[in-house]
A = this chain, B = another copy of it.
Amino acid sequence: MPLHEHPAATDAARELIAARGGRVTRTRVAVIQALQRSAHPLSHDELGAALDGAGIAHDRVTLYRALDWLVEQGIAQRIAGGERAWRFEIRRDGDHRHAHFHCERCGQIVCLEDVSAAAPTLPAGFAVARAELVLHGACADCGREGVERKER
């Protein structure tokens, strides 16, 4: 049994899943909670570590499939970051799709909640399903001198 589990948060996660007719499994519940607790979008790898930390056994493939399902159901959304791995974040209600900032020094993705990623007017015939705006550069933390580089 996972340590430091908040019963209320767990129940909320369970209901999110059940409402879509999905089976409430430890992996899905734990992933939702990890996403909800995180201030920034998480990679598959980071989520795996979070599950390990919570004492939840899991398989790489199961995690991929749980994430696919959460995205399909609109519970989570996928972000293309700019590196080669997807990142995931919870979709909060009334969430206009916001822009993200990718720090090329520390590798973090920061949500720019106040910067919307709105689709501009396009040539006739194009149907836009969603817009992704990613800014690349150095984040506030890394802009300061003396911060160690963490990624290529």
Contact = CB atoms under 8 A, between A and B. Distances in A.
Interface of A: 80-82, 84, 99, 101, 104, 112, 115, 117, 119-120, 122-141, 143-144
B143 A137 contact: no
A72 B119 CA distance: 30
Contact of A127 (B127, B129, B138): B138
A132 B136 contact: yes
A133 B141 CA distance: 24
Contacts of A104: 129
Contacts of A115: 120, 122
A124 B140 contact: yes
Contact of A134 (B124, B126, B132): B132
A151 to B, nearest CB: 14
Contacts of A117: 133
A143 B126 contact: yes
A136 B112 CA distance: 20
Contacts of A129: 104, 136-138
Nearest to A85: B84
A144 B125 CA distance: 8
B99 A126 contact: no
Contacts of A120: 99, 115
A134 B137 contact: no
